[in-house]
Amino acid sequence: MQETANEQLSLNESFLHFYERFLEQLPGIGLGLLIIILGVLIGTWVGNFAKKRIFNRTNDPLMSRFLGKTIKIIALTIAIMLALRAAGLGGIATGILTAAGASAVVLGFAFKDIGENFIAGIILAFNRPFDINDTVEIGENFGKVKALEFRYTKLKTFDGKDVYIPNSDVLTKPVTNFTEDGFFRWNFVIGIAYEDNIEGAKKTVMEALRNEPDVIEDAEHENFVIEDELATSTVNLKVFFWVDTKDFRRKALTTKGNVVRVVKEALEDNGYYMPADIQEIKIYGGNKDLELPVRLSSLKQNETPTKKD
């Protein structure tokens, strides 16, 4: 019984001692909380201020946003360290810094990928091959750049998907930018009959390209047509033309569709024939007098289909 009473007394003394120490440090704890609150407010204000100033100087929303967040995190970290010291917990702050330094190697191996992405994000903030809303292709991902964060770059694909690509992949993989200079060259193939005049068809196609208002042609961006292939039923012409890619999602694709349509209509209006592939059908054995429906084609487009007996 005496031993139990001594243990109870010791526990009460320990609790009382802890309570007294807590009351002694309460002003410091309150000051520490105040420092953290001020640190969050000041860090947020400084981060937003730096973001606006950097954007005004560089006109770069990705860099300004990234650096604004970095400044905010640094300010918050400093505020936490100062708060620990103000609360009389400076030993904890020192211990955290010491432990961070001692475990840097271990954490470096454990979080190697996170570290790579973070460092890559810093590099991309200052030097990258794209800007916000640029249409890019990174690996197999194709879409518009929407954000650059510490660990990833966000793309919005044209079918509505949000793709988050690790910054280390953005830094090491080839990046194709479709809108950096605002120009992109489309091409498509169209076939004409072997009996048609090739040079005349090429001139007709070029005239159709010149009449399309959204097709670009100048000294640096030349549109042209070449003989691409002697196919089974047609002489294939390959058409190359330049378009504006600032609005790649709609205007560039719409322009390509318009060009394909106007080229087809121009060739038809000028008497050029675009035959389908010819297929040869052989019937072995059976009834040799079998009647098959056949469509006869000639250079005239609107000839009435007939049956061949």
Tens digit of pLDDT at every position of the chain (309 positions): 555 555 555 666 666 666 666 666 667 677 778 888 888 888 888 888 887 887 777 676 777 777 787 888 888 888 887 777 776 666 555 665 565 555 555 555 555 677 777 788 878 878 888 888 888 999 889 999 998 887 889 999 988 899 999 998 998 899 999 888 888 899 999 999 999 999 999 999 999 999 998 898 888 899 999 999 898 889 999 999 999 887 777 778 888 999 999 999 999 999 998 887 666 666 666 665 666 666 655 544 444 444 344
Residues 303 and 262 in one domain: yes
Q: What is the pLDDT of residue 306?
A: 44
Instruction: Please give the pLDDT value at position 150.
Output: 79
- Are the C-beta atoms of residues 211 and 262 closer than 8 Å to each other? yes
Same domain (yes/no): 48, 139: no
Residue 210 falls inside a structural domain? yes
Encoded tokens for 309: 């007996």
∠ CA 118-123-128 to the nearest 5 degrees? Answer: 120
Report how far residue 291's alpha carbon sits from residue 288's, in angstroms, rounded to the nearest whole number. Answer: 9
Question: Is-contact 208 266, C-beta < 8 A?
Answer: yes
Per DSSP, the three-state class of 134 is coil
Whether 159 and 199 share a structural domain = no
Number of domains in the chain: 3
Does a structural domain hold residue 167? Answer: yes
**What is the predicted pLDDT for the residue at 301?**
45
Same-domain status, 260 and 202:
yes
Same domain, 243 and 186: yes
Cα–Cα distance for residue pair 131/147, rounded to 1 Å: 9
Per-residue burial over 67-95, b = 16 or more CB atoms within 10 Å of its CB, e = otherwise: bbbbbbeebbeebbbbbbbbbbbeeebee
Phi (first) and psi of residue 130, to 5 degrees:
-155, 165
pLDDT for the residue numbered 5? 54
- 17 and 33 both lie in a single domain: yes
Q: pLDDT at position 162, please?
A: 94
The CATH number assigned to the domain holding 167 equals 2.30.30.60
Residues 202 and 300 occupy one common structural domain: yes
Q: What are phi and psi of 76, to 5 degrees?
A: -65, -40
**Alpha carbon distance 233, 218 (integer Å):** 35
pLDDT at 43: 82
> Directed axis angle between helix 61-86 and helix 112-126, to 10°?
130
Q: Are residues 207 and 153 in the same domain?
A: no
d(CA 158, CA 247): 12
Please identify, among 114, 148, 177, the residue that sits at the C-terminal boundary of a domain. Answer: 177
Domain limits for position 143: 128-177
